[in-house]
Each structure stands twice: as C-alpha cells, then as structure tokens.
Amino acid sequence: MKQFLIYAVIALSAAGCEPQAAEPHRAALTRESPLPSQMVRKCTSTPCANTATGEDPQDIALRKIHQERDANADTSNDRARWKQTLYSDATRTQDLQLQLVRAADLYMYLDPAHGLIRFTQPRANDSFEIEQPIGAPNTLCPEYAVDVIAAASQYAVVRKSCMLHEYKPGRYSMGATYYIYDAQTHTMRTIWQSQTNGRDDPFPDPDTEPTVAAMSDGIRINWKATYPSEGKRRSLKIDIRYIREHAGSRQELVCVDLLAPPKENIETGACEGGALNHVSTHAR
C-alpha cells in the first residue's frame, strides 16, 4: 500500500497535477498505517490524464485505504485491527471507531467534533476529553491521529499524535501523548508526552513502544527508549504500576513509580501525568 502511494507521488509529478497542502510529517506519525490520501497529489484535469481509468489519484488512494481498513476491521485478530489509525479529519463513521478486543466486546470511538474519545463495553460507556473540538480557536492540535499500542479486556494504551501546525506566523507545534484507559476504575490518564516547536524537527515519538502487562491489582508499564527533543536524542526510562484502590464507594487508579525510592514513589516522578476529564459513564 505504501509503495503504491510512493510510486503515485513520483509518477504524478508531471504537468497536470498540483500538490495539495498537507502536513509534511503526517506520513511518519504511524509506522503501520497506510499514507493518508492528502499525501498524494491531486489531478487538475477531469478526467485525469495521468491514470488509466481517468480517476483522480487521491480518489484511488482513498479507496484503497478504505478497503484496507475495512478488511482489518473484519479480521478476528485483535492486533491486526490495531493497525487502523483513527484520524480526526475522517469523514466515514467506520473510520472513527475500532474494536479493540473482540472477546470482551471492547470498542474505542473518536468524536473529533466534540474532542472526545470513548470506550464501550456491554455494561459501560466512558467518554473523556482528549482534545479541543475540531475548529476550536487557538488550539495547538487542530489535527491529530490516535493509534492503539496495547489493549486487553480491562484496559487500553493509546497514542495521540498532533500533526505539525503553524499556530502563529513562524511558530510551530507537533507532539505525541500516550494514555492509559482503565475500564474498572473508569479512568484515563496521561502516561507520557513530548512536543517540539521546530518546523523541520523530527516527530518526537520514542523509538520503541512501552511494554504493557496486566497484574492482579492493575497494570504495569515498562519503557526504555530514546526520543528527539530540541534536536537532541534523550533517554526515556519508565517503570510504573497503576494500581486499583478503593476510595470510599468507588475505585481509583493510583500510580506507583518503581524507579523512585520506596515510600516516596506514590504519584511522583514518572507518575506526573494527570487524568483526563471524565465526561460520562453509563450503560450501553
């Protein structure tokens, strides 16, 4: 799929096609997903003289992307479905939802119009504010993508990638944020985030993904990686446990930094990521 789009860009560089405005780093945001159609040049003539069928190259690319995503959505392999990226500018309903764990009937939905991400199971429906609504003024993340890193019946770890954006003349923003969702405590928390401000900076994503493991009382996340920050490579070491604890009549997700000194590791160090605003929880 990626090779098709790369060849298309090369072949369509001749007269009759004009480049579309697009974030130059968008293709690098997801390692597994096909390139979005905005990265393919659009034909200026109808019918298009550069394709055998006369179709616009963007229409061809978009159709192939939809076919691949629809095929992934139908597979019984959970990890294969996780390769589907949810983009905030998607127009099809099916491109804004993803079945994470078929055996648990766990789904994830993106609602860019309201800036929400939602997780549903047979007995629960949790919505969180993950970003400002699309079109909101003064946002540093007007377009973004959400990828699944890991998921099980009771949790999910996802990444939000904010695409390159010029929010003021000569001022740019681009970044990545990782979150954990816990169904039992109806909580979604930030695990780690990074941002760059340079027009030509590499996307600030770590070179490896976190290792996620379920435990009897919660979830453990272990991470050793490097990532670009202000033109330099910086190390990232995280070893944390999110423990479910009772707080009155409800449960909460408490973070323990295993790299911090004992008795000083509760909600400190790598645990600084806060909880997202929880909009609603109700039965499906």
Residues 6+ apart with CB under 8 A from 229: 194, 196, 204
Q: Span 248-268, mean pLDDT? A: 92
Q: Span 195-218, mean pLDDT? A: 90
For the chain, domain boundaries: 1-74, 75-281
Q: Span 134-141, mean pLDDT? A: 90
At residue 63, does pLDDT exceed 70? no
Determine contact, residues 130/276, Cβ cutoff 8 Å.
yes
Q: What is the pLDDT of residue 95?
A: 93
Tokens of 261: 């000194």
Pinpoint the alpha helices (H) of 75-199.
78-81
Tokens of 232: 């330099």
Rounded to two decimals, the pTM is: 0.76
At residue 124 the predicted structure's pLDDT band, cuts being 50, 70 and 90, is confident
Q: What is the pLDDT of residue 42?
A: 59
Rounded distance between C-alpha atoms, residue 253 and residue 272, angstroms:
13
Tokens of 235: 């190390």
**In this structure, which amino acid lies at residue 277?**
N
At residue 5, does pLDDT exceed 50? no
58 versus 151: which is more confidently predicted?
151
Q: Span 52-74, mean pLDDT? A: 53
Range ranked top by mean pLDDT from 5-19, 37-51, 60-74, 119-133: 119-133
Q: What is the pLDDT of residue 32?
A: 36
72 versus 236: which is more confidently predicted?
236
Cα–Cα distance list, 262 to 255, 256, 272 (Å): 13, 10, 17
Rounded distance between C-alpha atoms, residue 161 and residue 163, angstroms:
6
Flag the least confident range among 28-37, 239-248, 273-282: 28-37
Tokens of 189: 């928390």
**Nearest CA-CA partner of 48 in 36, 63, 59:** 59
Q: What is the pLDDT of residue 246?
A: 87
Q: What is the pLDDT of residue 190?
A: 97
At residue 250 the predicted structure's pLDDT band, cuts being 50, 70 and 90, is confident
% of the chain exceeding 90 in pLDDT: 55
Mean pLDDT (the chain) is 80
